[in-house]
Amino acid sequence: MNDWTPETWLIAAGRNRTPGEPLNVAPVLASNFYLPDDRLYSRSDGTPTSDALEELLGGMENGKALSFASGMAAAAVILHRLPVGSSIAVPVDPYHGVAGIVNEGEAQGRWSVLRLDQADTPAWLDALQTCDLVWLETPENPLMTVADLPTICAAPRRDGTIVAVDSTFATSLNQQPLDLGADVVMHSATKFIGGHSDLLAGVLITRNDELLEEFRHRRLLYGATIGGMEAFLTIRGARTMALRMERAQQNAMELAMRLTGHPEISRVLYPGLPSHPTHAVAATFMTGFGAMMSFETTGAGERATDVCNRMELVNHATSLGGVETTMERRSVIPGQERIPPTLIRLSVGCEQVEDLWADFVQALTAS
């Protein structure tokens, strides 16, 4: 990353500074290229736009990046590399798409699955001795549990065991799993990296050249290469990620504190709050606590839905990580039935925090 800070790297990296070239990376909308050349076909070799994106995102973690058509495409490349008879350790309640792949493979008899409480560090240390893949998602969706990455990633492991970290909620601005000993980091770039709720994209970042080439080959086979326009939009969004995250994190901390004191809220889950069960762990290695939180309303689950429907500024929508604040009741999502019925996940955006708070007050009062 040269001597630039991450905030500067996001703005300056991945540009072609040749005189006469455009200042901003252009979308290359091509599937094939004139021969002879090393770049044959975009499904196998990407495009100049995806090259720039991979330089930009890989440099954020001092690794090498591969871009994908979605976060799930990136996750699938890691999971489907496992041969029959493998064993996987995953959080009890990972992202439902990842859970779907894991459950499908288990039902087919392809692998065995160990489901662990993400806060149970000793259990994860044991899993490193027996599992082929240790998959961490931290902070975890939607309970915001933070794994003890410094302890788990640096611990001794069985030869061949891969430690993968879904770092989507934290972003590379708030944690650096590769520095701590992880083998690969996954981001759903659909979220905070893109930042504008207008694209699907994913990325894997590693410092292991053998893994990188294996992932590249599987991306080719699965047809999971990112499109030229999506790569362009992801770069454009990433340029402002540091600015957006700074504002969103400030808003998130303020809202978390205010919601904690509201009589119609029974619980707030945000790693930045000292009351969060994994706050002390998070404070040891995270440089920021992110813009994601969950909270529970008083009353029944229908009350939580009513609160979502009554918001006028905050958007009642799925997904997360955009410049706008969004919220949704998670237990109504298929596969999320274990989530408390009154829990609402909140992705805090960049609006003025007093406007956001006024919206919460009116919705909670009227519901």
As annotated, the active-site residues are: 43, 95, 166, 191
Give dist(CA 15, CA 75) in Å, integer. Answer: 28
CA distance 128 to 136: 12
In whole angstroms, give the CA distance from residue 330 to residue 345: 7
Lateral strand order in the sheet of 326-329: 265-269, 292-297, 343-347, 326-329, 315-316
At 183, which amino acid appears? D
Whether the ω angle into residue 139 lies within 30 degrees of 0, i.e. cis, is yes
Q: Which residues pair with 204 in a beta bridge?
A: 66, 186
Distances (CA, A) of 255 to 76, 296, 337: 35, 14, 26
Residues 6+ apart with CB under 8 A from 63: 178, 185, 205, 206, 207
End-to-end Cα separation, the chain, in angstroms: 50
Distance (Å, whole) CA 195 – CA 322: 4
Q: Please state whether the peptide bond connecting residue 142 to the residue before it is cis, i.e. omega within 30 degrees of 0.
A: yes
Interior CA angle at 136 toward 146 and 178, to 5°?
Answer: 90
